[in-house]
Amino acid sequence: MPVSKLFIIGNLTVPSSWIALLLGFLISYVAIRALFGKSDSDRVADAFFWHVLVWKLSVLLTDFSSVLANPLSIIYFHGGTIGFFLGLAVAFMKLLWDYRKGLFGMSMLVTAWIMAQTVFQIAMAVLNPGDAFGRWTTVVIFTLFFVIYWLKRTTLSAGQWLLLSAAVHLFGAAFQPEGVVNIAFIVTVVVCLALGILFRTIPRSEEIA
């Protein structure tokens, strides 16, 4: 869903997408905490923290001359889309490292991802005024997927859920005003591919739950 709402909180202007990202993270954190325990949910919090930190500091890379001219730019600005994906990459690297050490399982990552993805989509649809059709279909499709995942979590493998999450997003995006070519869908594709590759390079366990 395109951002059509800016929230003015104190002396900051916060785009709806940031609220949606925060909600996605929060629900993801709570879900992992409930299902897998504190140590796993701490990894989720860690990943989110690193993502946001790198995204913010990436302004040094995307606009070094502005930061040089005015160091306060680090506080006021961020690295944009490039910074967002850089943050995602760094968070993923950290997770990869810990996963290799066997500190958590595939299903934890997949659960965290699907929680974040579905809640983000639903939040974006709720928060942004505009195309009613796109908003309603998004809420229905992703809420259904959210519920189905909770009920049937153990019936599919992690990799199968990843594939489904990408297909569901493709389907949902078709109804949205921006269509399929938007950053959220690109993120879904990137994350599903990255996690999929990650799962294939580590010797497969039969772990499902």
The residue ranges that bind other proteins (CB under 8 A) are: 4-13, 63, 66, 69-70, 72-73, 76-77, 80, 129-132, 152, 155-156, 160, 163-164, 167-168, 170-171, 173-175, 177, 179-180
CB of 166 to other proteins, least distance (A): 9
CB of 23 to other proteins, least distance (A): 14
Shorter beta-carbon distance to other proteins: residue 103 or 193: 193
Shorter beta-carbon distance to other proteins: residue 43 or 169: 169
CB of 51 to other proteins, least distance (A): 19
> What is the CA 23 to chain-centroid distance, rounded?
10
Shorter beta-carbon distance to other proteins: residue 99 or 146: 146
The CA-based dihedral angle spanning residues 7, 9, 13, 16, taken in that order and rounded to the nearest 10 degrees: -30
Q: How many residues does the chain have?
A: 209
Q: How deeply is 132 buried, as exposed, middle or buried, from its count of CB atoms within 10 A (0-12, 13-18, 19+)?
A: exposed
**166 neighbors 144 (Cβ within 8 angstroms):** no
CB of 149 to other proteins, least distance (A): 13
CB of 198 to other proteins, least distance (A): 20
Shorter beta-carbon distance to other proteins: residue 10 or 102: 10
* Axis-axis angle for helices 106-127, 132-152 (nearest 10): 160
Shorter beta-carbon distance to other proteins: residue 60 or 164: 164
Distance (Å, whole) CA 96 – CA 90: 10
Strand partners, 14: 7
